[in-house]
Amino acid sequence: MENYKCAFSNTMMQGGFACDQAGHVVRRAGPDIACQSQAAHEQCEQVFQQMKAAALPAFGVEDDLLSMPHSVLVKIQFGGLLGLQAQVHAADAAATTVKNIHALIDAALQKQENISYASLVENMTAYKLKRRG
């Protein structure tokens, strides 16, 4: 079985978010999330890359793993998914979790052929990271 690193793994590792295509794996760096489907992985990766391209100018950082703070990627993942959920399911606009990431992305792509990633930037920049206790 192929092992596809989930584009939204931070959301599931920190809890509250889930995906029907996710599987827990152990990598050198520790526990991680892998996608069980190549098609789902490609779809989610494409959406994440589009979210990142739209959000990075607003954060004032470049797409460089050596200089970009990890917190920016986390805000893009959490805020982007919550914003997308609010667009797709208006009744869930105040939700702080996503029950099925792949189903949400699939529904968003079915509902609107071209997702307006620019409209998600506010959700990504406004997302507040949880403080460690």
**Cβ burial, residue 74 (10 Å; 0-12/13-18/19+):** middle
The torsion angles phi and psi of 64, rounded to 5 degrees, stand at -140, 115
Neighbours of 71 (CB within 10 A): 11
Instruction: Report domain extents, the chain.
Output: 38-126
Neighbours of 82 (CB within 10 A): 25
Angle between helix 38-59 and helix 101-111 axes, rounded to 10 deg: 80
Strand order in the sheet with 22-27: 4-5, 30-35, 22-27
Structural element, H or E, at residue 31? strand 30-35
Q: What does each of the 133 residues of the chain score in pLDDT, given as a tens digit?
A: 467 999 999 999 887 899 999 998 887 877 889 999 999 999 999 999 999 999 999 999 998 878 889 999 999 999 999 999 999 988 777 889 999 999 999 999 988 777 899 999 999 999 998 776 6
Which pTM does this prediction carry? Answer: 0.90
Rg from Cα positions in the chain? 14
